[in-house]
Amino acid sequence: MLTPSSAPATTAAHRVGVIDMARGMALLAMAVYHGSWDLTYLGLADFDLFGDPLWLAARTGILGSFLMLSGLSLTLAAAGGIDRRRFLRRFALLVLAAGGVSAVSMVMFPDSPIFFGVLHHMAVASLLGLALLRLPWPALLLLGVAVIAIGRTVALPLFDEPWLRWIGLMSFEPESNDYVPLFPWFGGFLFGMALGRLWRPGPARTPGGAVGRGFAWAGRHSLAVYLLHQPILFGLLSAVAMGIGADPADVRSFQTSCVATCIAGGGEVAHCTATCRCVSDDLNRAGLWSDFIHDRLSADSAHKVDGVIQSCGSR
């Protein structure tokens, strides 16, 4: 769902330590969010990431912070003139990374692939930002507000066409594990650019302490951290899930089938989803999951499974 800055720095010597450190802190918040998504996907937790207002606010805050830092970095990097070679290299890396993420998501999540996620957005935002660099900060601020307002209020069937969905003005929310359209999210990038126009450079300072230096290092290598952290997290948590007896593929298959059956029987989507997740979690905790999923239940175990299903259904 979340990403590093796409804006190039002029040289390592001219990097702003506080911005690198802020980006590193945002990377940590992003990793926590993605880890929570992984835990839910693997059936190890039950976080309502797409319904709970606190989780929705967390996603908005994390993604918004990256976008603002990217707009800020672009403006500061351009203050002394854009290094075209460095910018184009960074842009090419973003495009390749975005393409790789889309390809992997189509294999892992064919029903909800990432067709315009945060990396795709960053690539487009960096190009649009270059065209707007000469605008004064009030104009950038007002333009950002307009982009957000339009993105929140305008929905036209015209933009439902697959090749226009990246703009964000479509009339429905697409099935995607990471959807960051131009409207309204480009508004955050513009806010960062406005802040960059107001920025007054102070004396260069290196973040103090091991923690500060660690955050700054992560911020300087944000694209690499972004690309590597999720495969590592997902792999480790998948191993944990399998180690306690629940194969993630089996859990997902069961929950999908269970929810579909429940809805067909007249149940509400939210209740069916919660009930099915409860069943898989409780069966796993009771040590019944493997026998249940492989149809090896004894009479006593089958009775216990019925009890779990009834208990979850009544919650």
| pLDDT in the model for residue 111 | 79
Same domain for 217 and 146: yes
Same domain for 222 and 279: no
Instruction: Count structural domains, the chain.
Output: 2
Residue 193 placed within a domain: yes
Same domain for 103 and 163: yes
Residue 230 placed within a domain: yes
Residue 3 placed within a domain: no
> CA 271, 272, 276: angle at the middle one, nearest 5?
120
Same domain for 29 and 175: yes
**Domain residue limits at 181:** 12-197+211-239
Residue 79 placed within a domain: yes
Same domain for 287 and 177: no
pLDDT tens per residue, range 194-216: 999 998 766 656 666 888 888 98
Same domain for 151 and 69: yes
| pLDDT in the model for residue 207 | 66
Same domain for 26 and 153: yes
Residue 203 placed within a domain: no
Same domain for 276 and 219: no
Token duo for residue 10:
């002029």
> What is the Cα–Cα distance from 198 to 93, expressed in whole angstroms?
29
Same domain for 264 and 215: no
Q: Are 112 and 176 in contact (CB under 8 A)?
A: yes
Q: Is the model's pLDDT at 48 over the cut of 80? A: yes
* Average predicted confidence (pLDDT) for the chain: 85
| pLDDT in the model for residue 8 | 45
Same domain for 162 and 136: yes
Same domain for 165 and 294: no
Residue 1 placed within a domain: no
pLDDT tens per residue, range 220-258: 888 899 989 988 998 888 887 776 666 676 777 788 888
| pLDDT in the model for residue 7 | 45
Residue 4 placed within a domain: no
pLDDT tens per residue, range 92-148: 999 999 999 999 989 888 878 899 999 999 999 999 999 999 999 999 999 999 999
Torsion of CA 37, 41, 43, 45, to 10 degrees: 10
Q: Are 98 and 123 in contact (CB under 8 A)?
A: yes
